[in-house]
Structure 1
């Protein structure tokens, strides 16, 4: 998938800020696998750990 580096967004990706994960957890489906991405890898690592602990299939 092509990523526009000037905008820092992956086309058609869902943007879920780490700080909103509790309020928006119901938007995610435990039956699906998610690829978590952030610019440096720090937030995506935290998100992967947090989601994995709650039964989600994630890759960061």
Structure 2
């Protein structure tokens, strides 16, 4: 059986950044760190709770 790949792995995070940069050209730098952390965790079906500063990108995650 093939190993289960996770979005939170290095490969998963790199893939997410590539997808975002291609689908949302205005985001030339891809996700912000908190967006990458939250999105990869949610895609892996992990529960998340986020408390971070205004302007950190919570709404996009």
TM-score (norm 2): 0.31
Higher radius of gyration, 1 or 2 = 2
More strand by share: 1
More helix by share: 2
TM-score (norm 1): 0.31
